[in-house]
């Protein structure tokens, strides 16, 4: 009797095991868990502010942009004269635009925009037969200290990787002073080292903070008039003690010391973590910060600031030549943002509204590990 019970019990257990194997071991694999994400809408309506966003906290806050009297940041136009190189004269560059962007309370970044300097050989002939150089821009860091009516700059050499020019990388160091008042002088000593050259080319950049002379500048496909020396900066008090990863200004976008990659795919579940070399950091540029003097002279206020052209490609902005003045087309590709803390966040834009006075960007995001 005991053997019959054990035998029947064995059959029951075997059946249970076989049933369990049919439901979990064989047949279709279980569905993978649905990937979760968060979604947010960020407003970026005003010319006079940035909206900063933190992936970690999911919070955003507004940082006003204001005009600063006797500030160091600004857009300047002047002449770069080069010293002879081993007795060989070098051509400088007239009407060179220099951007000065404040990055902290006592430091700035100085960008020489659209350089076309060519390196001659020791016979004095241009390095390229046609003498044409694809424009390139170089940026250096400097400590900025106010001394009376001047800002004194003490530079640190920075290596720049470029797409134009004659070599893939240049080193730049900038020292000198920028007059804090209108109609004051600007004089900067620029040391440019192409490639692995053992010594730099030295140039002197001179300009004036002219009050009345209105000039034109083109950035991000827009041309506007500006007054040299007109300084607009983000309010540092609004950033104090706050953490953020990306920031929106109309359709301009930047990171907080991060870098961005755009994937070719729109598949949210298909993103994988690429190598760090494929991410693109911010580059120096300007944004419109004030339109209050747009009429009658067409003058605009500009803020010099880093911008990320890859992340800004979430939106294609096309002038129409009529009203409304722009056409907006949303890019729904996946973007990967590598933050300054080396975390990578995946994001995808789903909506951009620009009716009336509101400009809102809607996107979903999650950390990619």
Domains and CATH numbers, the chain: 38-67+231-367 (no CATH), 74-211 (2.40.128)
- Model confidence pLDDT, tens digit, residues 293-352: 655 566 677 787 889 999 999 988 787 777 666 778 899 999 999 998 999 999 999 988
113, 137 in Cβ contact below 8 A? yes
The predicted model scores a pTM of: 0.66
Work out the average pLDDT over 264-269: 90
> Residue 219 and residue 234: Cα distance in Å, rounded?
19
The pLDDT score that the predictor gives to residue 22 is 36
Each residue of 173-223: pLDDT tens digit?
999 999 887 677 899 999 999 888 888 999 999 987 654 344 555 555 555
- SS3 label, residue 334: coil
Indicate if the alpha-carbon torsion angle 147, 256, 306, 116 is positive or negative: positive
Counting Cα atoms < 13 Å in the Cβ hemisphere of 369 gives 2
What confidence tens digit (pLDDT) does each residue in 335-357 have?
A: 999 998 999 999 999 988 876 56
């Amino acid at each position: 009797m005991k053997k019959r019970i054990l035998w029947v019990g064995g059959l029951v257990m075997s059946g249970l095991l076989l049933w369990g194997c049919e439901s979990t071991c064989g047949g279709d694999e279980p569905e993978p868990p649905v990937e979760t994400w968060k979604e947010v809408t960020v407003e970026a309506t005003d010319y006079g502010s940035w909206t900063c966003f933190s992936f970690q906290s999911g919070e955003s806050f507004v940082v006003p942009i204001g005009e600063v009297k006797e500030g160091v940041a600004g857009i300047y136009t002047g002449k770069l004269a080069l010293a002879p190189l081993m007795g060989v004269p070098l051509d400088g560059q007239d009407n060179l635009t220099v951007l000065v962007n404040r990055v902290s309370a006592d430091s700035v970044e100085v960008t020489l925009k659209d350089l076309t300097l060519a390196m001659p050989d020791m016979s004095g002939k241009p390095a390229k037969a046609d003498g044409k150089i694809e424009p390139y821009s170089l940026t250096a860091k400097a400590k900025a200290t106010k001394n009376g009516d001047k800002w004194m700059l003490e530079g640190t050499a920075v290596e720049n990787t470029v797409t134009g020019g004659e070599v893939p990388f240049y080193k730049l160091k900038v020292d000198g002073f920028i007059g804090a008042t209108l109609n004051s002088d600007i004089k900067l000593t620029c040391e440019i080292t192409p490639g692995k050259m053992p010594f730099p080319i030295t140039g002197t950049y001179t300009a004036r903070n002219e009050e009345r002379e209105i000039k034109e500048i083109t950035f991000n496909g827009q041309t506007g008039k500006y007054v040299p020396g007109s300084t607009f900066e983000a309010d540092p008090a609004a950033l104090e003690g706050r953490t953020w990863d990306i920031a929106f200004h109309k359709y301009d976008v930047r990171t907080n010391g991060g870098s961005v990659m755009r994937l070719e795919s729109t598949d949210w579940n298909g993103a994988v973590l690429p190598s760090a070399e494929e991410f693109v950091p911010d580059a120096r540029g300007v944004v419109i910060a004030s339109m209050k003097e747009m009429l009658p002279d067409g003058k605009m206020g500009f803020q010099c600031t880093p911008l990320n052209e890859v992340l800004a490609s979430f939106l294609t902005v096309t002038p129409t030549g009529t009203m409304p003045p722009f056409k907006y087309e949303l890019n729904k590709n996946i973007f990967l943002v590598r933050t300054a803390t080396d975390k990578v966040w995946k994001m995808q834009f789903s909506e951009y509204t620009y009716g009336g006075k509101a400009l809102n960007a809607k996107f979903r995001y999650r950390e990619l590990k």
